[in-house]
A and B are shown apart, each in its own frame.
Chain A
Amino acid sequence: QSALTQPASVSGSPGQSITISCTGTSSDVGGYNYVSWYQQHPGKAPKLMIYEVSNRPSGVPDRFSGSKSGNTASLTISGLQAEDEADYYCSSYTSSSTPWVFGGGTKLTVL
């Protein structure tokens, strides 16, 4: 039950775009379109930002977008804003002995 692989940190200036990758295997990310992305501010619960690879829940700005190619999913944030500074986690359904797996998390710094 290995965690999905994410970069530990990414950074960008206000107005720029950044992309966070999430690499798994054919048993999770590559095998299902059940990849989600969560935003977590310090001391807060995670918040769903993207579901089923590329869909945004109501209320999430369209600056947030998701995609997938093979075993790697990606979250792109365009027009970075200071409030986007947070930790981001991907998750995926998996055919392993446990149904869900999370990524290790990526700390986004807005310079």
Chain B
Amino acid sequence: EVQLVESGGGLVQPGGSLRLSCAASGFTFSSYWMSWVRQAPGKGLEWVANIKQDGSEKYYVDSVKGRFTISRDNAKNSLYLQMNSLRAEDTAVYYCWVSSSPSFDYWGQGTLVTVSS
């Protein structure tokens, strides 16, 4: 059974940092692109970043470029999101997401990040 379990969320002040983790199991983690998707309270889904199987390619939504860094450790079957210079508008539930054609599509349960003073 595929499982994605996020952790690391919490309350942080504006300008602060947080590191999210996603522990993957039930599939060959090193064979898939991995993504982070977020959802602000009462709002829609927003794709944040993704990373290639070997970590050699990374892409980010414009609003987090230069502040967030996605990484992975294939030996630990883990995905990470280092978030620096956090802003109020980064407040959201952050989901770990794996999707591959044709229908391999799994989400974690999400971890809540709240940026507030």
Interface residues of B in 66-106 (CB under 8 A from A): 95, 99, 101-103, 105
Find out whether the CB atom of A51 lies under 8 angstroms from the CB atom of B107.
no
A44 to chain B, nearest CB (A): 8
- The count of residues in chain A whose C-beta lies closer than 8 Å to any C-beta of chain B is 25
Q: Could you say which residues of chain B place their CB within 8 Å of the CB of A58?
A: 103
Q: Nearest chain B CB to A47's CB is how many angstroms away?
A: 8
Interface residues of A in 32-54 (CB under 8 A from B): 34, 36, 38, 45-48, 51-52
Are B105 and A45 in contact, CB atoms less than 8 angstroms apart? no
B45 interface neighbour in A51, A52, A105, Cβ under 8 Å: A105
For the complex, is A1 an interface residue (Cβ under 8 Å from B)?
A: yes
The interface residues of chain A lying within 8 Å CB-to-CB of B95 are 45-46
The number of residue pairs between A and B whose CB atoms lie closer than 8 Å in the complex comes to: 58
List, in ascending order, chain B residues with CB within 8 A of A110's CB.
Answer: none
Contact size class for B? Answer: 20 to 34
Asked if A89 meets B45 with Cβ closer than 8 Å, knowing A45-B109, A100-B35, the reply is yes
Residues of B within 8 A of A55 (CB): 102-103
- Given contact pairs A46-B45, A52-B101, A103-B44, enumerate 19 new A-B contacts (beta carbons under 8 Å): A3-B46, A36-B99, A48-B103, A51-B105, A57-B103, A58-B103, A89-B45, A91-B45, A98-B47, A98-B60, A98-B62, A99-B50, A101-B47, A102-B37, A102-B44, A102-B45, A102-B47, A105-B43, A105-B45
Q: Give the A-binding residues of B (Cβ under 8 A).
A: 35, 37, 43-47, 50, 59-62, 95, 99, 101-103, 105, 107-110
Question: 21 A–B contact pairs at CB < 8 A?
Answer: A3-B46, A45-B108, A45-B110, A46-B45, A46-B107, A48-B103, A51-B101, A51-B102, A52-B101, A52-B102, A58-B103, A91-B45, A91-B47, A98-B61, A99-B47, A99-B50, A100-B35, A102-B45, A102-B46, A104-B44, A105-B43
